[in-house]
Structure 1
């Protein structure tokens, strides 16, 4: 079986469903509040909404992508750090039940990361994250698990752990004669610029908001850029341009759709598919995921994705 290793974040997702008007009020009231489709870091605690109005689940871009890679047919390992409260939320047992290997996840003396997710009636999401234990994923931790990363077929990275940790990893991988295909989802976009300059990164996946924020750096990037654009065509820009038209769906919650795309893309690249063929399946998987509430619980199986394909996917 192909092998995908995700080095990244795991959060307790706290989701609330509000009207677009209510969310616009929050946007105007809090300077740090994210834009539609955006993920931002914050150290602020939102007091305008009571705790009981949030639904708790397991998320974080890293763990979401690891679960999606497992659903996409890969042997999926997650490397990251949880807090001492992880058993309160069943973080590791939930990931294991969803097919992810978590035997090397560390426990830090702080709370597990949190994500506050606001979803409107059209399924659009606004996400603010508090790093918590994710900030403890340091170079020493990665060094302890370097061989597992180096021997993977694909390594998935995001920007919810320290940039310095990922930069150290990428620089070390650059010294290898062979290593994993590295897929970077540079979200949140703040401070991620140094990673886009690393030659070890093979594929960058961004949505339109992220593309606009990073356009200058992406134009200088030597690898493949994949732009997800909601209901519009996904654009794969490498040696040539390739477009994928998403299937028509009735979205309920777009939270985590980008992570589903990245995890499926990684799993299919690890299985030896071309970037275009991998994007076909990843687009279908991400679209299906928007029809169900939540991030990880909405990730479709490979069989469900293949059933949506009108023809056999290209290699």
Structure 2
């Protein structure tokens, strides 16, 4: 079975479902508030007004954890590496990930920090705005990477994001550069702030960005010599580099776009790690990301491999 490792964040997502005009008001009122489709890092939990008629949920999330779940749904043997707080049992963070097929044996529990938080706002068209507070995710450091690099380097594929300190991700990439054989590294620079230097690391094989991240990292991505994959919502996914592909997403009726990118990245890593060609991996990842928008939430909305394959079989030109 394909072995996929995700080094990254685990969060408790505080998700609010609000009318679009309420979210536009928050954008205007708060300087820290993200743009549509953007993830931003903030220093502490925001002091928000009482928002009438909102629906509110606490669910397990974090890009690192989400992408590990997506890899597991794609059929890989998936492991998550990162840190959670002493409060993780209150929210069932590790239990939930284990139930969803992810190995959490190497996750560190940090006694003096809370588990990371994400404040997720979803409008009535399914668009999302995300602000994260690092919490225990900020305890992932070079020493943690060094303790686990022997296990990580044996994987077929590694998923990296930017919700843990850049120094930790950079340390892993530095260590992998020294390996005669190493995993395929899929890097999703979200949030985009501070992620640019990682794109210059030779151990990064594939960078996956959405439109907001692409605009923020345009200069660094222009110099990147691996494969860049650009997702564009309902528009075509475009891959550029040594080979170029364009994949049209299936038509869906989005309810919540929050986890689309994580579903995409997890599937992409699982299939590339399994030796599938890039075009085939992109097709499956595109379908998975699209289908993930048809239900609210993130991890439980990620489709399984059988569902994705059925959609692929029905696509024009397939089979």
Secondary structure of the residue aligned to 2:309 is helix
State how far apart, in whole Å, the 2-side matches of 1:49 and 1:111 are. 23
2:58 alignment counterpart: 56
Matched, 1:252 2:255: yes
Matched, 1:201 2:214: no
How far residue 127 of structure 1 moved from its aligned partner, in angstroms, is 0.2
Q: Is the 8 A contact 2:197 2:220 kept in 1?
A: no
2:268 alignment counterpart: 265
Q: Deviations over 1:161-189 (max 9, x none)?
A: 00011111111111110100000000001
Equivalent of residue 193 in structure 2, options 179, 190, 196: 190
Q: Deviations over 1:72-97 (max 9, x none)?
A: 01000000000000000000000000
Q: Deviations over 1:96-153 (max 9, x none)?
A: 0000000110011200000000000110000000000000001111111111111000
1:301 alignment counterpart: 304
Matched, 1:237 2:233: no
State how far apart, in whole Å, the 2-side matches of 1:78 and 1:310 are. 31
State how far apart, in whole Å, the 2-side matches of 1:86 and 1:307 are. 36
1:143 alignment counterpart: 146
2:38 alignment counterpart: 38
Matched, 1:290 2:293: yes
Matched, 1:26 2:2: no
Q: Which runs of 4+ in 1 moved over 4 A?
A: 50-53, 311-314
Matched, 1:105 2:99: no
1:72-221 superposed matches below 5 A? 72-108=74-110, 109-221=112-224
How far residue 53 of structure 1 moved from its aligned partner, in angstroms, is 4.8
Gaps of 5+ in 2: none
Secondary structure of the residue aligned to 1:258 is helix
Secondary structure of the residue aligned to 2:217 is helix
State how far apart, in whole Å, the 2-side matches of 1:287 and 1:188 are. 21
TM-score (norm 1): 0.97
Secondary structure of the residue aligned to 1:145 is helix
Secondary structure of the residue aligned to 1:9 is coil
Matched, 1:226 2:229: yes
TM-score (norm 2): 0.96
State how far apart, in whole Å, the 1-side matches of 2:152 and 2:243 are. 29
Q: Deviations over 1:253-302 (max 9, x none)?
A: 00111000000000001111111110000000011110000010101000
How far residue 50 of structure 1 moved from its aligned partner, in angstroms, is 6.1
Matched, 1:47 2:48: yes
* Number of equivalenced pairs: 314
State how far apart, in whole Å, the 2-side matches of 1:264 and 1:240 are. 19
Q: Residues 93, 172 of structure 1: CA spacing in aligned structure 2 closer, same or farther, 3 A cutoff? A: same
